[in-house]
Amino acid sequence: MLLEVRDLEAGYGASKALFGISFDVDEGEVVTLIGRNGMGKSTTVKSVCGLLKPFDGEIRFRGRRIDGRAAHHVCRLGIALVPEGRQIFPNLSVRENLVMAGRVRPEGREPWTLERVLDFFPRLAERLGNGGAQLSGGEQQMLAIGRALMTNPDLLILDEATEGLAPLVRDHIWTSLDALKATGLAMIVIDKELDALIGFADRHFVVEKGEIAWRGSSAELVADPSIQEAYLGV
Amino acid sequence: MLILEQTLNGVQLGVMLFLIASGLTLVFGIMNFINLAHGSLYMAGAFTAAWVQGVSGSFLLAIPAAVVVTAALGAVLEIGLFRRFYARNHLDQVLVTFGIVLVANEVTRIVFGPVPLRMPLPPALAGSIEIVPGLPYPTFRLVVLIVGLAVAALLWAIVMKTRIGMWVRAGSSNRPIASAMGVDVDLVFAALFAVGAALAGLAGLMAGPILAVQVGMGEPILILALVVTVIGGIGSIKGAFVAALMVGLVDTFGRVLLPPALGSMAIFLLMALILAFRPKGLFPVHG
């Protein structure tokens, strides 16, 4: 098992948002966290990435406890985040946004370098000297994914990676993610676009009021329209 | 002749101010932390240098000593104390750092006594150089000027051209995301603080032979450095450099050309004028 989350409880200040979340991700597997806004999806991935210290529960990456560890430790172990809202560094150029995250890890697949990221997203190669804030939404999204790839992760977490993008750009992002999946990269995807997720992911976890309300494969999710009605507001 | 000489004096004061203000503006801009104790690090640099020189007789030995000691002091203060105050409001920060100023002054008085220390220059630096025929200029002031410009260029190159500089800038604009990309932001900020402290220490060491090495020497220079920081735009190295030269020149020429009461006010008039038109300073960093 690549990632195991057991009975995760977390929140902000005194208010709890997660009441015992449990899920797991296998090597090379793509899973989704789906559910309405404010149900705890982002809180869950923030806890996994080390951006939020959990109140209780366990998070294991390759069997190693990572809950409560600093974000840069978690990143160096091989978990990369494409954050909600993209959060490109506006005061760094496109090149710098990529290079700052660069990290070579000895073991594993063919490493992601600046050249490989630029081959993967040729649009970024044309805008290397631009400031991070001068990019379009789609370009920023490519940069956010490229930046995460530069850390050479084994698990990529995408929080609302297609939000607010034009349909054509969204398709391009999904195609790119397909190509990443084909390299054997495991992913956790949070997204509203259920149709795309069903075709893309292996398993799904429905997050409802800080708990996992349903789990199953894409086939099971398609087969049971009541789940979509009950939890996804479709 | 007078104009050239005073210009050199002004630029030399400017680069000294830059050495102090660069640390202050980075810490203020990036950690949103007001460090009034920055002037104490300047004083610590001067006293360390004077003491090492007094004991060893070597000015050359005093230079690394002052830089290393102030860098270490800065790191200890950041890790042990200031780090806990980044998230607090500015009043708390001013209170704790002003407390450090008072303690630092008293401790210095107890250890070194109230009499100013002397820092004699080595013979090679004590003389003057004729920069243009008929105008001798003190060698040491010229060295200060060159060192200041070199440090400014080095600092700019580190911040703008290296990965460490990228981490500093990334951490300043979005700390959590920078750490999620693998940057140990705590470590980067502690190192940044130590470098800022070392630059203040370097300024103190270079001020030693020109001014008196005495208790309380950090406060007047801190006020000038704060003026530089605010004029340049908080957090901007480039702004600190431009503003430091402006303040150095305006202060020097103000004292020469204007009546005494007005001359000492000149830089504050400059600050008021600039802030009236550019409320965030000349080179605003954030929005």
B4: confidence class by pLDDT, cuts 50, 70, 90: confident
Q: Is the pLDDT of residue A234 over 70?
A: no
pLDDT at res. A50: 94
DSSP B171-230: HHH-HHHHHHTT--HHHHHHHHHHHHHHHHHHHHHHHTTTS-B-TTTHHHHHHHHHHHHH
**Which whole number is the average pLDDT over A138-145?**
95
What Rg do the C-alpha atoms of chain A give, in angstroms?
17
Phi, psi of A25, deg, nearest 5: -135, 130
**Which whole number is the average pLDDT over A102-110?**
76
Q: Is the pLDDT of residue A96 over 70?
A: yes
Q: How many other CB atoms are there within 10 angstroms of residue A185's CB atom?
A: 21
**Distance from C-alpha of B41 to C-alpha of B52, rounded to nearest angstrom:** 16
Which 8-state DSSP code applies to residue B105? H
B126: confidence class by pLDDT, cuts 50, 70, 90: confident
Q: Is the pLDDT of residue B27 over 90?
A: no
Question: C-alpha B268: how far from its chain's center?
Answer: 18
Write down the mean pLDDT value for chain B.
90
B211: confidence class by pLDDT, cuts 50, 70, 90: confident
ipTM above 0.90, yes or no: yes
pLDDT at res. A65: 95
> B137: alpha, beta or left, given left = phi > 0 and alpha = psi -120 to 50?
beta
pLDDT at res. B14: 93
Taking an 8 Å cut-off on Cβ atoms, the answer to whether A100 and B181 are in contact is yes
DSSP B124-183: HHHSEEEEETTEEEEHHHHHHHHHHHHHHHHHHHHHHHSHHHHHHHHHHH-HHHHHHTT-
**Distance from C-alpha of A229 to C-alpha of A38, rounded to nearest angstrom:** 17
**Which whole number is the average pLDDT over A143-167?**
94
**Which whole number is the average pLDDT over A41-50?**
94
Q: Is the pLDDT of residue A108 over 70?
A: no
B287: confidence class by pLDDT, cuts 50, 70, 90: very low
Q: Which of A52, A100, A117, A154 to mutate to test the interface with B (most CBs of B within 10 A)?
A: A100
Q: Per the structure block, which two tokens stand in for B126?
A: 């004590």
Taking an 8 Å cut-off on Cβ atoms, the answer to whether B181 and A147 are in contact is yes
**Distance from C-alpha of A199 to C-alpha of B154, rounded to nearest angstrom:** 53
Picking from A74, A99, A147, the nearest residue to B163 by CB comes out as A99
**Distance from C-alpha of B107 to C-alpha of A179, rounded to nearest angstrom:** 64
Q: Which residues of A touch B167 (CB under 8 A)?
A: 100
Reported as half-sphere exposure (CB side, CA atoms, 13 A), residue B284 has a value of: 9
> B14: alpha, beta or left, given left = phi > 0 and alpha = psi -120 to 50?
alpha
- Of A60-69, A189-198, B40-49, B276-285, where does mean pLDDT reach its minimum? B276-285
Can you state the angle between helices B38-56 and B59-80, rounded to 10 degrees?
A: 140
Residue B30 contacts A, CB cutoff 8 Å: no
**Which whole number is the average pLDDT over A88-102?**
94
SS3 state of residue B117? strand
Name the helix (H) or strand (E) containing B232: helix B218-232
Q: Is the pLDDT of residue A20 over 80?
A: yes
B39-63 tens-digit pLDDT: 999 999 999 999 999 899 888 999 9
Q: Is the pLDDT of residue A22 over 50?
A: yes
Taking an 8 Å cut-off on Cβ atoms, the answer to whether A148 and B185 are in contact is no
Q: Is the pLDDT of residue B285 over 80?
A: no
Beta bridge partners, B213, equal B117
**Which whole number is the average pLDDT over B238-265?**
89
Taking an 8 Å cut-off on Cβ atoms, the answer to whether A151 and B181 are in contact is yes
Picking from B166, B174, B185, the nearest residue to A87 by CB comes out as B174
Write down the mean pLDDT value for chain A.
92
| Min Cα–Cα distance to chain B from A169, Å | 24
> Using an 8 Å Cβ cutoff, are A186 and A109 in contact?
no
Q: Is the pLDDT of residue B107 over 50?
A: yes
Name the helix (H) or strand (E) containing B95: helix B90-112
SS3 state of residue B75? helix
Beta bridge partners, A60, equal A4, A65
**Which whole number is the average pLDDT over A29-43?**
92
Residue B164 contacts A, CB cutoff 8 Å: no
Taking an 8 Å cut-off on Cβ atoms, the answer to whether A89 and B163 are in contact is no
Long-range contacts of the stretch B242-247 (C-beta < 8 A, 24+): B242/B282, B242/B283, B243/B21, B243/B281, B243/B282, B244/B14, B244/B15, B244/B17, B244/B18, B244/B21, B245/B10, B245/B11, B245/B14, B245/B15, B245/B18, B246/B14, B246/B270, B247/B13, B247/B14, B247/B17
- Of B68-82, B118-132, B179-193, where does mean pLDDT reach its minimum? B118-132
| Min Cα–Cα distance to chain B from A221, Å | 32
| Min Cα–Cα distance to chain B from A75, Å | 5
**Which whole number is the average pLDDT over A114-139?**
93
Residue B162 contacts A, CB cutoff 8 Å: no
Compare all CA atoms of chain B with the CA of A95 and give the residue at the minimum distance: B166
Taking an 8 Å cut-off on Cβ atoms, the answer to whether B166 and A75 are in contact is no
Name the helix (H) or strand (E) containing B19: helix B2-31
> Using an 8 Å Cβ cutoff, are A86 and A162 in contact?
no
